[in-house]
Chain A
């Protein structure tokens, strides 16, 4: 069971570079999420998608864009990376009425 798969697992970027984090889920969930987690901190919601074709801002959306390509995939793009975006990024998915969200293994991003 793959669950939620995100790539890449590790990435080092230079300030100003762009990159896209990819995420896919095979659980047929409607909802998908991108969170970031800084050292010793909780998870902060960046963007949320309730269903294919819809996206909504979370707590910390500035500097990010998302795309819900289809029901399975939800990508996160950094257009011009900044050192403040150094973090661990988690993609997650959850069912429509269900109360559980499932996380991917995380992507460690360093911006130098």
Chain B
């Protein structure tokens, strides 16, 4: 089955760096995605890791360790607009390699 764990809430100040962790247990793991969702909005794609290591996209980076079943999203130079919920999602492999299962989300509060 699939199980993802991430912290429920994180608070940080503007300009700081914050790391949101995600651990997963799943058979047929294929990759880990990260999505951002503002209140009342739809989730939007941030990053994806299929291989171990760090993927960087502007202020956002994502890391994966397949051997540890662990990943994180790193947000640098935090801005007020980064206040949102962040979800990790497991892409399931095998015959259903395009199934995505989401964690419960981490609410990020950015304070001035």
Contact call B101/A45, Cβ cutoff below 8 A: yes
* B96 CB-CB contact with A under 8 Å: yes
1/0 per residue, CB under 8 A from B, across A85-96: the answer is 000001000101
How far is B42's CA from A101's CA once the two chains are assembled, in angstroms? 12
Question: Which residues of the partner chain B approach A101 to less than 8 Å between Cβ atoms?
Answer: 33, 45, 100
Contact call B43/A31, Cβ cutoff below 8 A: no
Question: Which residues of the partner chain A approach B98 to less than 8 Å between Cβ atoms?
Answer: 30-31, 48, 50, 94, 96
How far is B45's CA from A56's CA once the two chains are assembled, in angstroms? 23
Contact call A58/B45, Cβ cutoff below 8 A: no
Question: Which residues of the partner chain A approach B91 to less than 8 Å between Cβ atoms?
Answer: 99
When A99-B33, A106-B42 are in contact, do A43 and B99 touch as well, CB less than 8 Å? no
When A99-B33, A100-B48 are in contact, do A45 and B43 touch as well, CB less than 8 Å? no
How far is B11's CA from A77's CA once the two chains are assembled, in angstroms? 39
Interface range, B side: 20 to 34
How far is B37's CA from A6's CA once the two chains are assembled, in angstroms? 18
How far is B104's CA from A35's CA once the two chains are assembled, in angstroms? 13
Main secondary structure of the interface of B (DSSP, over half): strand
Contact call A104/B102, Cβ cutoff below 8 A: no
Contact call A48/B105, Cβ cutoff below 8 A: no
Contact call A90/B102, Cβ cutoff below 8 A: no
Among residues of B, the one whose C-beta sits closest to the C-beta of A29 is: B98
Partner of B105, one of A33, A41, A59: A41
How far is B103's CA from A96's CA once the two chains are assembled, in angstroms? 23
* B69 CB-CB contact with A under 8 Å: no
Contact call A103/B96, Cβ cutoff below 8 A: no
* B44 CB-CB contact with A under 8 Å: yes
Partner of A103, one of B33, B42, B101: B42
If A96-B98, A106-B42 are given as contacts, then 16 extra A-B residue pairs at C-beta distance below 8 Å, sorted by A number, are: A33-B100, A35-B102, A42-B87, A42-B104, A43-B102, A45-B100, A48-B99, A50-B96, A56-B96, A56-B99, A59-B101, A94-B98, A99-B91, A101-B100, A102-B45, A103-B44
Could you show 19 A-B contacts with beta carbons less than 8 Å apart? A31-B98, A42-B87, A42-B102, A42-B104, A43-B87, A43-B89, A43-B102, A44-B102, A48-B96, A48-B98, A90-B42, A94-B100, A96-B98, A99-B31, A99-B48, A101-B100, A103-B43, A105-B41, A106-B42
